[in-house]
Chains A and B, each alone.
Chain A
Amino acid sequence: MADWTRASAAQMAAAMKAGEVTSVELTQAHLDRIAAVDGDVHAFLHVDAEGALATAREVDAARAAGEELPPLAGVPIAVKDILVTKGMPTTAGSRILEGWEPPYDATVTRKIREARMPILGKTNMDEFAMGSSTEHSGYGPTRNPWDLDRIPGGSGGGSAASLAAWEAPLAIGSDTGGSIRQPASVTGTVGVKPTYGGVSRYGAIALASSLDQLGPCARTVEDAALLHEVMGGHDPMDATSLDEPVPSCVDAARQGREEDLAGVRIGVIKELSGEGYQAGVEQRFEESLELLKARGAEVVEVSCPSFEYALAAYYLILPSEASSNLAKFDSVRFGLRVEKATVERTMGATRAEGFGDEVKRRIILGTYALSAGYYDAYYGSAQKVRTLIQRDFAAAFEQADVLVSPTTPTTPFKLGERLDDPLAMYLNDVATIPANLAGIPGLSLPSGTAPEDGLPTGFQILAPAHEDARMYRIGAALEKALAEQWGGHLSAQAPELEVAQ
Chain B
Amino acid sequence: MSSLERADVARLAALARIDMTDDDLDRLSGQLAAIVDSVAKVAEVAGQDVPATSHPIPMSNVHRPDEVRPSLSQDAALSGAPEAEDGRFRVPQILGEEA
Interface residues of A (CB under 8 A from B): 100-104, 195-197, 210-211, 236, 239-240, 242, 306, 309, 312-313, 315-316, 323, 330-337, 339-349, 351-352, 355, 357, 360-361, 363-365, 367-368, 371, 374, 377-378, 380-388, 390, 422-423, 436-440, 465
B7: CB under 8 A from chain A? no
Asked whether, in the complex, the Cβ of B19 is within 8 Å of the Cβ of A378, the reply is no
- Apart from A242-B57, A364-B18, A465-B56, 18 more pairs, CB < 8 Å: A103-B80, A210-B54, A309-B41, A316-B39, A332-B89, A342-B95, A348-B19, A352-B20, A360-B28, A381-B43, A383-B54, A384-B52, A385-B45, A386-B52, A387-B51, A437-B56, A439-B56, A440-B56
CB-contact partner of A364 in B12, B47, B96, under 8 A: B12
A333 to B80 alpha-carbon distance, docked (Å): 6
- Given A103-B77, A341-B97, A364-B28: A423 in contact with B18 (beta carbons within 8 A): no
A315 to B32 alpha-carbon distance, docked (Å): 11
The secondary structure that dominates the A interface is: helix
Asked whether, in the complex, the Cβ of B18 is within 8 Å of the Cβ of A312, the reply is no
Interface residues of B (CB under 8 A from A): 1, 4, 8-9, 12-20, 24, 27-28, 31-32, 34-36, 38-47, 50-57, 59, 62, 64, 72, 76-77, 79-83, 89, 91-97
Asked whether, in the complex, the Cβ of A385 is within 8 Å of the Cβ of B57, the reply is no
Asked whether, in the complex, the Cβ of A388 is within 8 Å of the Cβ of B45, the reply is yes
Which chain A residues lie closer than 8 Å to B13 at the CB level?
Answer: 360, 364
Asked whether, in the complex, the Cβ of A196 is within 8 Å of the Cβ of B80, the reply is no
A33 to B43 alpha-carbon distance, docked (Å): 51
What is the minimal beta-carbon distance from A318 to any residue of chain B, in angstroms? 10
What is the minimal beta-carbon distance from A30 to any residue of chain B, in angstroms? 29
What is the minimal beta-carbon distance from B22 to any residue of chain A, in angstroms? 13
The secondary structure that dominates the B interface is: loop
CB-contact partner of B18 in A344, A363, A380, A436, under 8 A: A363
Asked whether, in the complex, the Cβ of A382 is within 8 Å of the Cβ of B42, the reply is yes
Which chain A residues lie closer than 8 Å to B91 at the CB level?
Answer: 331-332, 343, 346
Task: Point out which of B14, B47, B51, B57 has the most chain A C-beta atoms below 10 A from its C-beta.
Answer: B57
Which chain B residues lie closer than 8 Å to A102 at the CB level?
Answer: 80
Asked whether, in the complex, the Cβ of B1 is within 8 Å of the Cβ of A374, the reply is yes
What is the minimal beta-carbon distance from A465 to any residue of chain B, in angstroms? 6
- Given A101-B80, A331-B82: A381 in contact with B42 (beta carbons within 8 A): yes
For the complex of A and B, the 8 pairs showing the least CB-CB separation, nearest first, are: A439-B56, A383-B52, A381-B46, A337-B82, A334-B80, A384-B46, A352-B19, A103-B76
Closest to B71 in A: A104
What is the minimal beta-carbon distance from A200 to any residue of chain B, in angstroms? 13
Closest to A336 in B: B82
A388 to B53 alpha-carbon distance, docked (Å): 9
Which chain A residues lie closer than 8 Å to B93 at the CB level?
Answer: 341-343
A334 to B72 alpha-carbon distance, docked (Å): 15
A405 to B25 alpha-carbon distance, docked (Å): 39
Interchain residue pairs with CB less than 8 A apart (10): A239-B59, A242-B57, A316-B39, A336-B82, A345-B92, A364-B28, A368-B36, A384-B46, A385-B45, A422-B31
